[in-house]
Amino acid sequence: MSSLNRGLPSAAFALLVGGFALAFYWAPEDADQGFSQKIFYLHVPIALTAYACFGWGAWKALRLLWTRDRKYDLESYTAIHMGVIFGLLTLVTGSIWAKISWGEWWTWGERQLVLFLILFLFYSSYFMLRYSTEPGPRRERNSAVYALFGVVLIPVSFLAVRIAGTILHPTIFTHEGADLPWQMLVAFLVCLAGMLSLAATLYRVELTGKRIDASLRELRELLA
């Protein structure tokens, strides 16, 4: 295995520990929300990482359709798999934040949460599509097309939730502070880098596992 494969997990670990240390001990406490605002350093990097995973999955899907190279199917699938895990964590951490800030586990006024609910439903359907289609070139292409719809759905839903917020569910609460003090920004960026490295590590581990699974299946078929 390449040195990158060993380096990545260490980097993820160091960045995350360092990032949270900075967030808790160095970055100033938020004027309005106080200590509970610290979950920002967990929630937002996780959400951005989920977007990155969905984007990566769609890029691999596009490569599959372009090149007809079947290896991209597993890569796209694995990236979206990671995206769904981070998406679920976004919902959980967002929900905790909502409970701490406003005393409600769920609020339709919080755009990020609503958006991730839509995406979570969409990508769960992506799994249903894969499970109910015979493995083979047709499934690879159909999954790839659906993954591309996903990345288009993200900005469209973002816009939809935004304009819906103006009328249907007035946005009372917002996490977007006016300007982040630079210490907060630094801590946030370190956390984000850590989260992205963690996702990349998990992606590689999962991809290797799935490849081994696939080879084992082939081997078993050959022996049978």
Partner 1 sequence: MSAYAADVAALARKDVLLEVRSRDTLPAMLLFVVSALTIFHFALPSGSSERAETGLLWIAIVFTALLGLTRAFAAEREEGVLDGLVLAPCDRSAIWLGKTIGMAVFLVLAEIVALPAFALFFHPLSWELVAAVALADIGIASIGTLLAAIAAASRARELLLPLLFLPLAIPVVIGGVGASIASNPGSFLGFLVLYDGVFAILSWASFEYVVTE
Partner 2 sequence: MIRARKLSRSFGEKRVLEGLDLDVPRGGFVLVTGPNGSGKTTLLRLCAGLYAPTAGELEVEVERGAIGFLAHEPLVYRELTALENLDLYGRLYRLPERRERAGAMLERFGLWRARNERAGAYSRGMLQRLALCRTFLHDPDLLLLDEPFDGLDAEGADLLHAELAERASVTALVATHDPEALVTRSTARLALA
Q: Which residues bind partner 2 (CB under 8 A)?
A: 68, 70, 134-137, 217, 221
Burial degree of 34 (CB within 10 A; 0-12, 13-18, 19+): exposed
- Pick the closer one to partner 2 by CB: 137 or 209: 137
For 200, phi then psi, to 5°, come to -65, -40
Q: Which of 205, 216, 192 is nearest to 52 (CA)?
A: 192
Q: Does 138 bind partner 1 (CB under 8 A)?
A: yes
Among 6, 7, 19, 5, residue whose Cα is nearest residue 195: 19
Residue 96's binding partner, choosing from partner 2, partner 1, none, with beta-carbon cut-off 5 to 8 A by kind? none
Q: Token pair 């799935």 is at which residue?
A: 210
Q: State how far the alpha carbon of 181 is from the alpha carbons of 9, 26, 27, 166, in Å.
A: 30, 12, 8, 28
Partner in contact with 168, chosen from partner 2, partner 1, none, beta carbon below 5 to 8 Å by kind: partner 1
Residues 6+ apart with CB under 8 A from 111: 158, 161, 162, 165, 171
Minimum distance, C-beta of residue 221 to partner 2, in the bound complex (Å): 5
Residues near partner 1 (CB under 8 A), total? 35
Q: Using the rule CB under 8 A, which residue among 145, 186, 189, 193 binds partner 1? A: 145
**Which of 160, 180, 193, 205 is close enough to bind partner 1 by CB under 8 A?**
160
Residues from 166 through 185 that contact partner 1 (CB under 8 A):
166-168
Q: Which residues bind partner 1 (CB under 8 A)?
A: 65, 118-119, 121-122, 124-125, 128-129, 132-134, 136-139, 141-142, 144-146, 148-149, 152-153, 156-157, 159-161, 163-164, 166-168
